Amino acid sequence: MKAVVVEELGKALLKEVPLREMGPEDIKVKIDLCAVGGADPYAVTGEIPFRLPYYIGYQASGTIVEMGKDAISMGLKVGDKVTLDQHRYCGSCYNCRHGRETFCRTPGYGYVDSLMAEYGMVHQRQVFKVPEGVEMEEATLTEVIGAALQPLELAPFNQGDRVMVIGAGSCGLTILQLCKLRGALKLTVVEPLEFKRKLALELGAQYVLDPNTQDIVTEGMKITNDMGYDRVIEASGDSAMINPCIDLAARCGKILYFAIYPDHPDIIVPYDKLWFKELTIHGVFGQSHMFPRAVNMLPLLNLKPYRGPTFPLEDFMDAFDAHRTNKYVRVLVKC
Ligand SMILES: [Zn+2]
């Protein structure tokens, strides 16, 4: 089968590769659509280090074509439309048994991705039926929803708390929608691109700020009557946004650093600010156990406005180029 693979840094290829042999609890899926995920370009350049060869693709939907003989416990069957968790975990190592399967370290497991391909061979635990009424384009966003649930899981807030989300890509917009559903107040989105700011307003933001033309700390403090935000969620991946979070957070506020930063910045926090405000600073990496709830959330979120162009698998590089233009929230590859 054909799959997109990085064999040397800086270059991704569409290549004929063997599909992994089917285990008894595995399911073979014909991939329908796979998005260009935020991490994919960095995997090609090596800005996020992955072991090579690295098989691209972690946001995919498809159709079951074959079931392993023991892949029966999830109630799935051949022909089911499904969305796929790219994370294959062993279920028995120390971290898996402590509810942290994101950090599964058993060799051969982890973020194996490899879903920008004609087929996927995945464990039944990675396969979820697409809810009624959800289209395959939106089903590819399950991974995004799972990721967006994680900051709210790590630092849940109360109705009426003030929340700022920095960055309005697919993750930021999904975090925005989840915060809205949870009853966030003064819900503010920071985003340099005008079309994404408009989209954020459509999807529930009360305020939008342009960091290129506005001082986001000054404006954020005006919006919150000098109180600051109870939660500041940094989802832009722009390291210039890291320090303002510290000033934007309210007393006893929590800052969640969610994004990938290709320049691998340090975070330097003045101790007096941390101490006087009783700040909590949280990294957000994985999404252990989020996928089932992310699937449940698919019909509740307004995801169609994220849609951008779809490219055939042969033209996956055009999809990467389209992703880089920043003209679209989401670019898909038809596999
Ligand atoms: Zn494990």
3-state SS of the chain is CEEEEEEECCEEEEEECCCCCCCCCEEEEEEEEEECCCCHHHHHHCCCCCCCCEECCCCEEEEEEEECCCCCCCCCCCCCEEEECCEECCCCCHHHHCCCHHHCCCCCCEECCCCCECEEEEEHHHEEECCCCCCHHHHCCHHHHHHHHHHHHHCCCCCCCEEEEECCCHHHHHHHHHHHHCCCEEEEEECCCHHHHHHHHHCCCCEEECCCCCCHHHHHHHHCCCCCEEEEEECCCCHHHHHHHHHHEEEEEEEEECCCCCCCCCCCCCHHHHHHHCCEEEECCCCCCCHHHHHHHHHHCCCHHHCCCEEEHHHHHHHHHHHHCCCCCCCEEEC
Given this model, what pLDDT does residue 66 score? 98
Given this model, what pLDDT does residue 6 score? 94
* pLDDT tops 90 at residue 74: no
Residue 109 CA to ligand 1 center (angstroms) comes to: 7
Compute the distance between CA of residue 80 and CA of residue 57 in angstroms, rounded to an integer: 21
Interval 77-129: pLDDT, tens: 999 999 999 998 999 999 999 999 999 989 888 887 899 999 999 999 999 99
Q: Phi and psi for 209 in degrees, rounded to 5? A: -130, 145
Interval 99-109: pLDDT, tens: 999 999 898 88
Residue 81 CA to ligand 1 center (angstroms) comes to: 27
Residue 127 CA to ligand 1 center (angstroms) comes to: 17
Mean pLDDT over 222-251 rounds to 97
Query: Domain 2-141+303-334: which topology?
Result: Quinone Oxidoreductase; Chain A, domain 1 (3.90.180)
Tell which residue, 231, 244, 239, has the closest CA to residue 176.
231
Q: Give me the percent of the chain exceeding a pLDDT of 90.
A: 87
Given this model, what pLDDT does residue 317 score? 94
ipTM of this predicted structure = 0.99
Residue 95 CA to ligand 1 center (angstroms) comes to: 6
pLDDT band at 39 (very low <50, low <70, confident <90, very high): confident
Please name every residue paired with 64 in a beta bridge, in sequence order, or none if there are none: 29
Interval 192-223: pLDDT, tens: 999 999 999 999 999 999 999 999 999 999 99
* Burial of 39: CB neighbours in 10 Å, binned 0-12, 13-18, 19+: middle
Residue 96 CA to ligand 1 center (angstroms) comes to: 4
Length of the chain measured in residues: 335
Strand order in the sheet with 11-16: 11-16, 2-8, 54-55
Given this model, what pLDDT does residue 282 score? 97
Residue 51 CA to ligand 1 center (angstroms) comes to: 18
Given this model, what pLDDT does residue 226 score? 98
* pLDDT tops 90 at residue 297: yes
Residue 289 CA to ligand 1 center (angstroms) comes to: 13
CB 96 within 8 A of CB 90: yes
Residue 48 CA to ligand 1 center (angstroms) comes to: 22
Residue 111 CA to ligand 1 center (angstroms) comes to: 11
pLDDT band at 57 (very low <50, low <70, confident <90, very high): very high
Mean pLDDT over 23-39 rounds to 95
Given this model, what pLDDT does residue 94 score? 95
Residue 293 CA to ligand 1 center (angstroms) comes to: 20
Q: Give the residue range(s) of CATH 3.40.50.720 domains in the chain.
A: 145-283
Q: If you compute the radius of gyration of the chain from its CA atoms, what whole number of angstroms results?
A: 20
CATH top class, domain 145-283? alpha beta
Residue 89 CA to ligand 1 center (angstroms) comes to: 5
Compute the distance between CA of residue 171 and CA of residue 169 in angstroms, rounded to an integer: 5
Residue 128 CA to ligand 1 center (angstroms) comes to: 20
Tell which residue, 113, 177, 172, 138, has the closest CA to residue 332.
138
Given this model, what pLDDT does residue 146 score? 97
Compute the distance between CA of residue 55 and CA of residue 22 in angstroms, rounded to an integer: 18
Mean pLDDT over 182-190 rounds to 98
Mean pLDDT for the chain? 95
Given this model, what pLDDT does residue 51 score? 84
Residue 52 CA to ligand 1 center (angstroms) comes to: 21
pLDDT band at 278 (very low <50, low <70, confident <90, very high): very high
Given this model, what pLDDT does residue 113 score? 81
Residue 105 CA to ligand 1 center (angstroms) comes to: 6
Q: Give the residue range(s) of CATH 3.90.180.10 domains in the chain.
A: 2-141+303-334
* pLDDT tops 90 at residue 45: no
Residue 84 CA to ligand 1 center (angstroms) comes to: 18
Give the side-chain half-sphere CA count within 13 A for 265.
Answer: 14
Q: Give the relative orientation of helices 194-202 and 170-181 as an angle to the nearest 10 degrees.
A: 20
Residue 92 CA to ligand 1 center (angstroms) comes to: 5
Torsion angle, alpha carbons of 109, 40, 11, 264, to 10: -90
Residue 146 CA to ligand 1 center (angstroms) comes to: 19
CB 139 within 8 A of CB 130: yes
Specify the higher pLDDT residue, 249 or 260: 249
Residue 305 CA to ligand 1 center (angstroms) comes to: 36
CB 258 within 8 A of CB 284: yes
Tokens 């506020």, residue located = 253
**Phi-psi bin for 15: left (phi > 0), alpha (psi -120 to 50), beta?**
beta
pLDDT band at 165 (very low <50, low <70, confident <90, very high): very high
